[in-house]
Protein backbone atom coordinates (compact mmCIF):
# COMPACT_ATOMS: atom_id res chain seq x y z
CA UNK A 1 0.00 0.00 0.00
CA UNK A 2 1.18 3.50 -0.80
CA UNK A 3 1.23 6.03 2.02
CA UNK A 4 -0.54 8.60 -0.14
CA UNK A 5 -0.41 11.45 2.33
CA UNK A 6 3.34 11.05 2.69
CA UNK A 7 3.80 10.76 -1.07
CA UNK A 8 1.65 13.80 -1.82
CA UNK A 9 3.69 15.89 0.60
CA UNK A 10 6.63 15.40 -1.78
CA UNK A 11 4.73 16.95 -4.71
CA UNK A 12 4.31 20.64 -3.93
CA UNK A 13 2.64 21.26 -7.29
CA UNK A 14 -0.32 19.09 -6.28
CA UNK A 15 -0.94 21.33 -3.29
CA UNK A 16 -2.56 24.22 -5.19
CA UNK A 17 -5.98 25.43 -6.16
CA UNK A 18 -7.29 25.64 -9.70
CA UNK A 19 -10.53 27.52 -10.12
CA UNK A 20 -10.76 27.86 -6.34
CA UNK A 21 -10.64 24.12 -5.68
CA UNK A 22 -7.76 21.73 -4.96
CA UNK A 23 -6.12 20.62 -8.21
CA UNK A 24 -6.77 17.06 -9.39
CA UNK A 25 -4.07 16.06 -11.87
CA UNK A 26 -5.15 13.20 -14.14
CA UNK A 27 -2.88 13.84 -17.12
CA UNK A 28 0.02 11.65 -16.08
CA UNK A 29 0.31 9.85 -19.41
CA UNK A 30 1.29 13.20 -20.95
CA UNK A 31 3.77 14.00 -18.20
CA UNK A 32 4.05 13.09 -14.54
CA UNK A 33 4.74 15.51 -11.70
CA UNK A 34 8.15 15.77 -10.09
CA UNK A 35 8.79 15.10 -6.39
CA UNK A 36 10.92 17.29 -4.16
CA UNK A 37 13.70 14.66 -4.10
CA UNK A 38 14.09 14.80 -7.89
CA UNK A 39 14.03 18.61 -7.99
CA UNK A 40 16.63 18.59 -5.19
CA UNK A 41 18.86 16.23 -7.18
CA UNK A 42 18.68 18.68 -10.09
CA UNK A 43 19.39 21.74 -7.96
CA UNK A 44 22.13 19.91 -6.05
CA UNK A 45 23.83 19.22 -9.36
CA UNK A 46 23.61 22.86 -10.50
CA UNK A 47 24.59 24.26 -7.12
CA UNK A 48 27.54 21.93 -6.54
CA UNK A 49 28.77 19.89 -9.47
CA UNK A 50 27.82 21.62 -12.74
CA UNK A 51 30.53 20.97 -15.32
CA UNK A 52 30.79 19.21 -18.65
CA UNK A 53 31.20 15.45 -18.56
CA UNK A 54 33.94 13.22 -19.98
CA UNK A 55 36.12 16.24 -20.81
CA UNK A 56 37.90 17.87 -17.94
CA UNK A 57 40.23 16.43 -15.35
CA UNK A 58 39.16 19.08 -12.85
CA UNK A 59 37.20 18.14 -9.76
CA UNK A 60 33.77 19.40 -10.82
CA UNK A 61 34.00 17.65 -14.18
CA UNK A 62 34.96 14.41 -12.45
CA UNK A 63 32.06 14.76 -10.03
CA UNK A 64 29.59 15.54 -12.82
CA UNK A 65 30.86 12.58 -14.85
CA UNK A 66 30.65 10.24 -11.89
CA UNK A 67 27.08 11.32 -11.08
CA UNK A 68 26.01 11.06 -14.74
CA UNK A 69 27.48 7.57 -15.07
CA UNK A 70 26.01 6.51 -11.72
CA UNK A 71 22.58 7.51 -13.07
CA UNK A 72 23.22 5.34 -16.13
CA UNK A 73 24.06 2.39 -13.88
CA UNK A 74 20.81 2.98 -12.00
CA UNK A 75 18.78 2.99 -15.22
CA UNK A 76 20.55 -0.19 -16.38
CA UNK A 77 19.73 -1.98 -13.13
CA UNK A 78 16.14 -0.68 -13.10
CA UNK A 79 15.34 -2.16 -16.51
CA UNK A 80 17.50 -5.27 -16.16
CA UNK A 81 20.19 -4.52 -18.75
CA UNK A 82 23.14 -6.94 -18.73
CA UNK A 83 25.73 -4.15 -18.67
CA UNK A 84 25.60 -0.40 -18.11
CA UNK A 85 26.95 0.32 -21.59
CA UNK A 86 23.68 -1.01 -23.06
CA UNK A 87 21.98 2.18 -21.83
CA UNK A 88 22.22 5.24 -24.07
CA UNK A 89 20.92 8.46 -22.61
CA UNK A 90 18.50 10.28 -24.91
CA UNK A 91 16.11 13.22 -24.68
CA UNK A 92 13.26 10.73 -24.31
CA UNK A 93 11.35 8.08 -26.21
CA UNK A 94 11.05 9.98 -29.49
CA UNK A 95 14.80 10.57 -29.74
CA UNK A 96 15.52 6.97 -28.73
CA UNK A 97 13.24 5.54 -31.40
CA UNK A 98 14.67 7.86 -34.05
CA UNK A 99 18.14 6.69 -33.04
CA UNK A 100 17.24 3.03 -33.66
CA UNK A 101 15.56 3.93 -36.92
CA UNK A 102 18.37 6.11 -38.26
CA UNK A 103 21.18 3.87 -37.07
CA UNK A 104 19.99 0.29 -37.14
CA UNK A 105 17.16 0.77 -39.64
CA UNK A 106 19.18 2.81 -42.09
CA UNK A 107 21.91 0.13 -42.27
CA UNK A 108 19.77 -2.98 -42.22
CA UNK A 109 16.63 -2.30 -44.23
CA UNK A 110 16.69 -3.18 -47.94
CA UNK A 111 14.04 -2.71 -50.64
CA UNK A 112 11.21 -5.20 -50.15
CA UNK A 113 11.99 -5.85 -46.46
CA UNK A 114 9.07 -5.59 -44.07
CA UNK A 115 8.83 -3.38 -41.00
CA UNK A 116 5.98 -4.39 -38.72
CA UNK A 117 4.25 -1.93 -36.41
CA UNK A 118 0.66 -1.78 -35.11
CA UNK A 119 -2.40 0.44 -35.41
CA UNK A 120 -2.06 1.61 -31.84
CA UNK A 121 1.36 3.22 -32.07
CA UNK A 122 2.09 6.73 -30.86
CA UNK A 123 3.31 8.84 -33.80
CA UNK A 124 6.84 8.58 -32.34
CA UNK A 125 6.86 4.87 -33.08
CA UNK A 126 5.14 5.24 -36.44
CA UNK A 127 6.50 8.16 -38.44
CA UNK A 128 10.21 7.22 -38.17
CA UNK A 129 9.41 3.74 -39.60
CA UNK A 130 7.03 5.13 -42.20
CA UNK A 131 9.71 7.49 -43.45
CA UNK A 132 12.41 4.79 -43.35
CA UNK A 133 10.17 2.47 -45.39
CA UNK A 134 9.63 5.26 -47.93
CA UNK A 135 13.36 5.99 -48.19
CA UNK A 136 14.30 2.34 -48.57
CA UNK A 137 11.44 1.00 -50.68
CA UNK A 138 10.53 -1.27 -47.77
CA UNK A 139 7.02 -2.36 -46.79
CA UNK A 140 5.38 -0.98 -43.65
CA UNK A 141 2.95 -3.58 -42.26
CA UNK A 142 0.43 -3.13 -39.49
CA UNK A 143 -0.50 -5.72 -36.89
CA UNK A 144 -4.29 -5.76 -36.78
CA UNK A 145 -5.87 -5.22 -33.38
CA UNK A 146 -8.29 -7.43 -31.47
CA UNK A 147 -11.86 -6.17 -31.05
CA UNK A 148 -10.95 -4.54 -27.73
CA UNK A 149 -8.04 -2.70 -29.36
CA UNK A 150 -5.26 -4.87 -27.93
CA UNK A 151 -2.33 -6.43 -29.79
CA UNK A 152 -2.35 -10.23 -29.45
CA UNK A 153 0.29 -12.81 -30.20
CA UNK A 154 -2.11 -14.35 -32.76
CA UNK A 155 -2.52 -11.13 -34.72
CA UNK A 156 1.22 -10.43 -34.52
CA UNK A 157 1.88 -13.90 -35.90
CA UNK A 158 -0.13 -13.03 -39.02
CA UNK A 159 1.86 -9.85 -39.69
CA UNK A 160 5.38 -11.12 -38.90
CA UNK A 161 6.89 -13.20 -41.72
CA UNK A 162 10.24 -14.31 -43.13
CA UNK A 163 10.47 -10.89 -44.78
CA UNK A 164 10.17 -9.01 -41.48
CA UNK A 165 13.36 -7.28 -40.39
CA UNK A 166 12.06 -4.98 -37.64
CA UNK A 167 9.04 -5.24 -35.32
CA UNK A 168 8.34 -1.98 -33.47
CA UNK A 169 5.50 -1.89 -30.94
CA UNK A 170 4.35 -0.17 -27.77
CA UNK A 171 4.54 -2.08 -24.50
CA UNK A 172 1.58 -0.09 -23.15
CA UNK A 173 -0.77 1.96 -25.32
CA UNK A 174 -0.95 5.65 -24.43
CA UNK A 175 -4.55 5.70 -25.65
CA UNK A 176 -6.24 2.56 -24.37
CA UNK A 177 -3.69 1.65 -21.68
CA UNK A 178 -3.55 -1.99 -22.79
CA UNK A 179 -0.46 -4.10 -22.08
CA UNK A 180 1.09 -5.84 -25.11
CA UNK A 181 2.48 -9.41 -24.74
CA UNK A 182 6.01 -8.26 -25.57
CA UNK A 183 7.81 -11.45 -24.56
CA UNK A 184 5.70 -13.58 -26.89
CA UNK A 185 6.00 -11.12 -29.77
CA UNK A 186 9.77 -10.84 -29.23
CA UNK A 187 9.98 -14.64 -29.59
CA UNK A 188 7.99 -14.44 -32.84
CA UNK A 189 10.24 -11.70 -34.20
CA UNK A 190 13.38 -13.66 -33.32
CA UNK A 191 11.98 -16.86 -34.85
CA UNK A 192 11.88 -14.99 -38.16
CA UNK A 193 15.28 -13.37 -37.69
CA UNK A 194 13.86 -9.88 -37.02
CA UNK A 195 14.73 -7.50 -34.20
CA UNK A 196 12.12 -6.09 -31.83
CA UNK A 197 12.03 -2.42 -30.83
CA UNK A 198 9.76 -1.56 -27.92
CA UNK A 199 8.23 1.82 -27.15
CA UNK A 200 8.13 1.67 -23.36
CA UNK A 201 7.10 5.28 -22.69
CA UNK A 202 3.91 4.20 -20.90
CA UNK A 203 5.30 1.01 -19.41
CA UNK A 204 8.50 1.82 -17.49
CA UNK A 205 6.72 4.32 -15.17
CA UNK A 206 4.02 1.81 -14.28
CA UNK A 207 5.19 -1.80 -14.68
CA UNK A 208 8.20 -3.89 -13.77
CA UNK A 209 10.21 -3.97 -17.00
CA UNK A 210 13.08 -6.43 -17.40
CA UNK A 211 14.61 -6.23 -20.85
CA UNK A 212 16.39 -9.56 -20.42
CA UNK A 213 13.28 -11.41 -19.29
CA UNK A 214 11.33 -9.88 -22.19
CA UNK A 215 14.25 -10.72 -24.49
CA UNK A 216 13.92 -7.50 -26.48
CA UNK A 217 16.56 -5.89 -28.70
CA UNK A 218 15.78 -2.20 -28.18
CA UNK A 219 13.65 -0.53 -25.53
CA UNK A 220 12.90 3.23 -25.36
CA UNK A 221 11.42 5.37 -22.58
CA UNK A 222 11.13 8.94 -21.26
CA UNK A 223 12.10 10.28 -17.83
CA UNK A 224 9.36 12.90 -17.67
CA UNK A 225 6.59 10.30 -17.48
CA UNK A 226 8.25 8.59 -14.50
CA UNK A 227 8.76 11.50 -12.07
CA UNK A 228 11.92 12.70 -13.83
CA UNK A 229 12.55 15.97 -15.67
CA UNK A 230 11.73 16.64 -19.32
CA UNK A 231 14.75 16.01 -21.52
CA UNK A 232 15.74 12.85 -19.67
CA UNK A 233 15.28 9.33 -20.99
CA UNK A 234 17.05 6.37 -22.44
CA UNK A 235 17.40 3.73 -25.09
CA UNK A 236 18.33 0.20 -24.10
CA UNK A 237 20.01 -1.78 -26.86
CA UNK A 238 21.40 -5.30 -26.94
CA UNK A 239 25.19 -4.92 -26.85
CA UNK A 240 25.94 -7.05 -29.92
CA UNK A 241 23.58 -4.88 -31.97
CA UNK A 242 24.78 -1.54 -30.60
CA UNK A 243 28.41 -2.49 -31.19
CA UNK A 244 27.74 -3.10 -34.85
CA UNK A 245 25.72 0.06 -35.39
CA UNK A 246 27.07 3.36 -36.64
CA UNK A 247 25.98 6.53 -34.89
CA UNK A 248 23.39 8.72 -36.57
CA UNK A 249 24.48 11.92 -34.79
CA UNK A 250 28.01 13.22 -34.96
CA UNK A 251 30.07 15.85 -33.15
CA UNK A 252 31.87 16.27 -29.87
CA UNK A 253 31.89 13.69 -27.05
CA UNK A 254 31.29 10.72 -29.36
CA UNK A 255 34.63 10.51 -31.18
CA UNK A 256 37.88 8.75 -30.50
CA UNK A 257 40.16 10.20 -33.21
CA UNK A 258 39.31 12.73 -35.88
CA UNK A 259 41.37 13.12 -39.00
CA UNK A 260 40.70 15.27 -42.00
CA UNK A 261 38.77 12.68 -44.00
CA UNK A 262 37.76 10.07 -41.47
CA UNK A 263 37.05 9.58 -37.77
CA UNK A 264 36.63 6.78 -35.26
CA UNK A 265 34.05 6.51 -32.54
CA UNK A 266 34.23 6.09 -28.80
CA UNK A 267 33.16 2.79 -27.33
CA UNK A 268 29.62 2.12 -26.11
CA UNK A 269 27.53 3.89 -24.98
CA UNK A 270 29.24 7.21 -25.71
CA UNK A 271 29.44 6.83 -29.48
CA UNK A 272 25.68 7.42 -29.50
CA UNK A 273 25.78 10.54 -27.29
CA UNK A 274 27.01 13.35 -29.52
CA UNK A 275 27.33 16.79 -27.95
CA UNK A 276 26.89 17.87 -24.36
CA UNK A 277 24.22 15.65 -22.86
CA UNK A 278 21.38 16.62 -20.51
CA UNK A 279 23.63 15.96 -17.53
CA UNK A 280 21.52 17.30 -14.66
CA UNK A 281 18.34 15.85 -16.15
CA UNK A 282 19.72 12.32 -16.34
CA UNK A 283 21.14 12.59 -12.81
CA UNK A 284 17.66 13.64 -11.68
CA UNK A 285 16.20 10.65 -13.58
CA UNK A 286 18.39 8.51 -11.33
CA UNK A 287 16.75 10.20 -8.32
CA UNK A 288 13.31 9.47 -9.84
CA UNK A 289 14.25 5.78 -10.06
CA UNK A 290 15.30 5.89 -6.40
CA UNK A 291 11.92 7.39 -5.55
CA UNK A 292 10.00 4.74 -7.50
CA UNK A 293 12.09 1.92 -6.06
CA UNK A 294 11.54 3.20 -2.53
CA UNK A 295 7.81 2.69 -2.99
CA UNK A 296 8.12 -0.31 -5.30
CA UNK A 297 7.05 -0.45 -8.94
CA UNK A 298 4.73 -3.39 -8.25
CA UNK A 299 3.03 -1.42 -5.44
CA UNK A 300 2.56 1.49 -7.86
CA UNK A 301 1.10 -0.85 -10.49
CA UNK A 302 -1.37 -2.36 -8.00
CA UNK A 303 -2.40 1.12 -6.83
CA UNK A 304 -3.15 2.11 -10.44
CA UNK A 305 -5.11 -1.09 -11.09
CA UNK A 306 -7.27 -0.39 -8.01
CA UNK A 307 -7.93 3.21 -9.13
CA UNK A 308 -8.69 2.11 -12.65
CA UNK A 309 -11.01 -0.68 -11.51
CA UNK A 310 -13.02 1.88 -9.57
CA UNK A 311 -13.00 4.41 -12.43
CA UNK A 312 -14.02 1.83 -15.04
CA UNK A 313 -16.87 0.52 -12.88
CA UNK A 314 -18.24 3.98 -12.05
CA UNK A 315 -17.91 5.31 -15.58
CA UNK A 316 -19.92 2.41 -16.96
CA UNK A 317 -22.83 3.50 -14.77
CA UNK A 318 -23.00 6.86 -16.56
CA UNK A 319 -25.27 6.99 -19.63
CA UNK A 320 -23.58 7.79 -22.92
CA UNK A 321 -20.03 6.88 -21.87
CA UNK A 322 -17.96 4.86 -24.35
CA UNK A 323 -14.77 3.42 -22.90
CA UNK A 324 -12.07 2.35 -25.34
CA UNK A 325 -9.89 -0.69 -24.77
CA UNK A 326 -10.32 -3.72 -22.51
CA UNK A 327 -12.66 -3.27 -19.57
CA UNK A 328 -10.65 -5.47 -17.22
CA UNK A 329 -8.46 -3.21 -15.07
CA UNK A 330 -5.67 -5.79 -14.79
CA UNK A 331 -5.18 -5.77 -18.57
CA UNK A 332 -4.20 -2.11 -18.45
CA UNK A 333 -2.03 0.44 -16.81
CA UNK A 334 -3.80 3.22 -14.97
CA UNK A 335 -5.54 5.21 -17.65
CA UNK A 336 -8.96 5.38 -19.20
CA UNK A 337 -9.85 6.82 -22.58
CA UNK A 338 -13.47 7.57 -23.33
CA UNK A 339 -16.08 9.66 -25.05
CA UNK A 340 -19.26 11.16 -23.74
CA UNK A 341 -22.02 10.91 -26.32
CA UNK A 342 -23.12 14.32 -27.57
CA UNK A 343 -20.15 16.21 -26.07
CA UNK A 344 -16.86 16.95 -27.84
CA UNK A 345 -13.89 15.65 -25.82
CA UNK A 346 -12.42 19.16 -25.69
CA UNK A 347 -15.63 20.35 -24.06
CA UNK A 348 -15.41 17.48 -21.56
CA UNK A 349 -11.85 18.57 -20.72
CA UNK A 350 -12.91 22.23 -20.46
CA UNK A 351 -15.78 21.55 -18.08
CA UNK A 352 -13.54 19.29 -15.98
CA UNK A 353 -10.88 22.01 -15.88
CA UNK A 354 -13.48 24.40 -14.50
CA UNK A 355 -13.93 21.72 -11.84
CA UNK A 356 -10.08 21.83 -11.30
CA UNK A 357 -9.58 18.40 -12.92
CA UNK A 358 -6.80 18.10 -15.53
CA UNK A 359 -7.38 15.49 -18.24
CA UNK A 360 -6.28 15.35 -21.86
CA UNK A 361 -8.48 15.49 -24.96
CA UNK A 362 -7.51 15.03 -28.59
CA UNK A 363 -6.00 12.36 -30.83
CA UNK A 364 -3.19 11.62 -28.34
CA UNK A 365 -0.60 11.51 -31.15
CA UNK A 366 -2.21 8.32 -32.43
CA UNK A 367 -4.27 9.34 -35.45
CA UNK A 368 -4.31 5.87 -37.10
CA UNK A 369 -5.69 4.42 -33.86
CA UNK A 370 -8.40 7.11 -33.75
CA UNK A 371 -9.44 6.01 -37.24
CA UNK A 372 -9.44 2.38 -36.14
CA UNK A 373 -11.62 3.34 -33.15
CA UNK A 374 -13.89 5.24 -35.59
CA UNK A 375 -13.54 8.54 -33.80
CA UNK A 376 -11.50 11.68 -34.35
CA UNK A 377 -10.64 12.33 -30.74
CA UNK A 378 -11.23 11.12 -27.21
CA UNK A 379 -10.87 12.27 -23.61
CA UNK A 380 -8.30 10.55 -21.39
CA UNK A 381 -7.78 10.43 -17.63
CA UNK A 382 -4.48 8.92 -16.53
CA UNK A 383 -3.44 8.06 -13.00
CA UNK A 384 -0.24 7.72 -11.05
CA UNK A 385 1.03 6.91 -7.59
CA UNK A 386 -0.20 10.13 -5.95
CA UNK A 387 -3.80 9.93 -7.19
CA UNK A 388 -6.52 8.95 -4.73
CA UNK A 389 -9.89 7.26 -4.86
CA UNK A 390 -11.45 10.57 -3.74
CA UNK A 391 -9.98 12.23 -6.81
CA UNK A 392 -11.52 9.57 -9.05
CA UNK A 393 -14.88 10.18 -7.35
CA UNK A 394 -14.53 13.90 -8.11
CA UNK A 395 -13.70 13.02 -11.73
CA UNK A 396 -16.83 10.81 -11.99
CA UNK A 397 -18.92 13.64 -10.48
CA UNK A 398 -17.34 15.96 -13.04
CA UNK A 399 -18.47 13.70 -15.87
CA UNK A 400 -22.03 13.68 -14.53
CA UNK A 401 -21.92 17.45 -14.26
CA UNK A 402 -20.67 17.70 -17.84
CA UNK A 403 -23.69 15.76 -19.02
CA UNK A 404 -26.01 18.04 -17.06
CA UNK A 405 -24.20 21.12 -18.37
CA UNK A 406 -24.90 19.99 -21.92
CA UNK A 407 -28.50 19.18 -21.10
CA UNK A 408 -28.09 15.42 -21.47
N1 LIG B 1 5.34 6.67 -27.07
C2 LIG B 1 4.27 6.65 -26.26
C3 LIG B 1 3.52 5.38 -26.07
C4 LIG B 1 3.89 7.83 -25.62
O5 LIG B 1 2.83 7.81 -24.81
C6 LIG B 1 4.63 9.02 -25.83
C7 LIG B 1 4.20 10.33 -25.24
C8 LIG B 1 5.75 8.96 -26.66
C9 LIG B 1 6.07 7.77 -27.27
C10 LIG B 1 6.63 10.14 -26.88
O11 LIG B 1 7.31 10.45 -25.72
P12 LIG B 1 8.28 11.74 -25.64
O13 LIG B 1 8.64 11.82 -24.21
O14 LIG B 1 9.44 11.46 -26.52
O15 LIG B 1 7.46 12.89 -26.12
N16 LIG B 1 2.82 10.40 -25.01
C17 LIG B 1 2.07 11.47 -24.72
C18 LIG B 1 0.71 11.36 -24.46
O19 LIG B 1 0.06 10.32 -24.46
N20 LIG B 1 0.23 12.59 -24.19
O21 LIG B 1 1.23 13.47 -24.29
C22 LIG B 1 2.37 12.79 -24.61
pLDDT tens for each residue of 4-27: 999 999 999 999 999 999 999 999
Give residue 390's pLDDT.
Answer: 98
336 pLDDT band, cuts 50/70/90, is very high
User: Does 301 lie in the same domain as 289?
Assistant: no
User: Does 138 lie in the same domain as 236?
Assistant: yes
C-beta 72 within 6 A of ligand 1: no
The residue among 274, 293, 312 that closes a domain is 293
pLDDT tens for each residue of 42-86: 999 999 999 999 877 899 999 999 999 999 999 999 999 999 999
C-beta 91 within 6 A of ligand 1: no
Over residues 196-207, mean pLDDT: 98
Q: Name the residue range of residue 87's domain.
A: 39-293
pLDDT tens for each residue of 160-176: 999 999 999 999 999 99
User: Does 322 lie in the same domain as 237?
Assistant: no
Alpha carbon of 127 to ligand 1 centroid (Å): 13
Structural domain contains residue 33: no
- Residue 115 predicted with pLDDT over 90: yes
What does each C-alpha distance from 49 to 56, 68, 250 come to in angstroms?
Answer: 13, 11, 26
Give residue 55's pLDDT.
Answer: 78
233: left (phi over 0), alpha (psi -120 to 50) or beta: left
Among 282, 271, 289, residue whose Cα is nearest residue 231: 282
Over residues 131-148, mean pLDDT: 98
At a CB cut-off of 8 Å and minimum separation 6, what does 157 contact? Answer: 188
Residue 284 burial (C-beta neighbours within 10 Å; 0-12, 13-18, 19+):
buried
Could you tell me the CATH number of the domain that includes residue 260? 3.40.640.10
pLDDT tens for each residue of 269-316: 999 999 999 999 999 999 999 999 999 999 999 999 999 999 999 999
Structural domain contains residue 34: no
Residue by residue, DSSP assigns 16-62 as SEETTEE-EE-BTTT-----HHHHHHHHHIIIII---TTT--SHHHH
The residue from 73, 327, 358, 365 that is catalytic is: 365
Taking 3-state DSSP, the helix, strand and coil percentages for the chain, each rounded to the nearest 5, stand at 45, 20, 40
Name the domain count of the chain: 2
Q: For the whole model, what pTM was predicted?
A: 0.98
User: Does 191 lie in the same domain as 205?
Assistant: yes
Which atom of ligand 1 is nearest to 225's Cα?
A: 13
Lowest mean pLDDT among 53-67, 79-93, 224-238, 258-272: 53-67
Alpha carbon of 20 to ligand 1 centroid (Å): 30
Which atom of ligand 1 is nearest to 121's Cα?
A: 3
Give residue 54's pLDDT.
Answer: 86
Give residue 56's pLDDT.
Answer: 78
The residue among 293, 318, 343 that closes a domain is 293
C-beta 121 within 6 A of ligand 1: no
The residue among 251, 275, 293 that closes a domain is 293
Could you tell me the CATH number of the domain that includes residue 381? 3.90.1150.10
Q: Under DSSP, is residue 186 helix (H, G, I), strand (E, B) or coil?
A: helix
User: Does 340 lie in the same domain as 191?
Assistant: no
Which percentage of the chain shows pLDDT scores above 90?
99
Structural domain contains residue 355: yes
pLDDT tens for each residue of 178-188: 999 999 999 99
What does each C-alpha distance from 305 to 244, 259, 299, 359 come to in angstroms?
Answer: 41, 56, 10, 18
Alpha carbon of 278 to ligand 1 centroid (Å): 19
Residue 269: cis peptide before it, omega within 30 degrees of 0: yes
Give residue 191's pLDDT.
Answer: 98
Which percentage of the chain shows pLDDT scores above 70?
100
Known active-site residue 101: no
pLDDT tens for each residue of 344-356: 999 999 999 999 9
Amino acid sequence: MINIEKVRADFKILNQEVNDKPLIYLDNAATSQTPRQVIQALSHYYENDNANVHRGVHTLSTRATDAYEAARAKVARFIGARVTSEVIFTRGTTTALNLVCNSYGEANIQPGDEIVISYLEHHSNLIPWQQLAKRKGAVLKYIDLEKDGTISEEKANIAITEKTKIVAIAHVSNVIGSITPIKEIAALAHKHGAVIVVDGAQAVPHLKVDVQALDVDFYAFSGHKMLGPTGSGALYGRRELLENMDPSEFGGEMIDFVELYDSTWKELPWKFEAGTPIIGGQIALGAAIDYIENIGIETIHQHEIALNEYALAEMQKIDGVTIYGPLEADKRCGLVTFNLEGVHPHDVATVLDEERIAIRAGHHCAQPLMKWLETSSTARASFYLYNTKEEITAFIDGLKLTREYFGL
